[in-house]
Amino acid sequence: MLRNVSPGGESQLALVRRARRMDRVLAETYPDAHCELDFRDPLELLVATILSAQCTDKRVNTVTPTLFAKYPTAEDYAGADRAEMEGIIRPTGFFRAKTNSIVGMAQALCEHHGGEVPGRLKDLVALPGVGRKTANVVLGNAFGVPGITVDTHFQRLTHRFRWTSETDPVKIEHVVAGLIPKRDWTMMSHRLIWHGRRLCHARKPACGVCPLAALCPSYGIGPVDPVQAAKLARPGPFS
Q: State the helix-helix crossing angle for 185-198 and 132-142, rounded to 10 degrees.
A: 110
* Beta-carbon count within 10 A of 222 CB: 20
Which of 185, 197, 196 minimizes the C-alpha distance to 161?
196
| Residue partners of 79: CB distance under 8 A and separation at least 6 | none
* Beta-carbon count within 10 A of 212 CB: 21
CA distance 175 to 161: 13
At 109, phi and psi to the nearest 5? Answer: -60, -45
Catalytic residue check, 133: yes
Which is catalytic among the residues 151, 182, 204, 225?
151
Whether residue 158 contacts residue 149, with contact meaning beta carbons closer than 8 Å, is answered with: no
Which is catalytic among the residues 133, 184, 204, 225?
133
CA distance 171 to 23: 20
Residues labelled as active-site residues: 133, 151
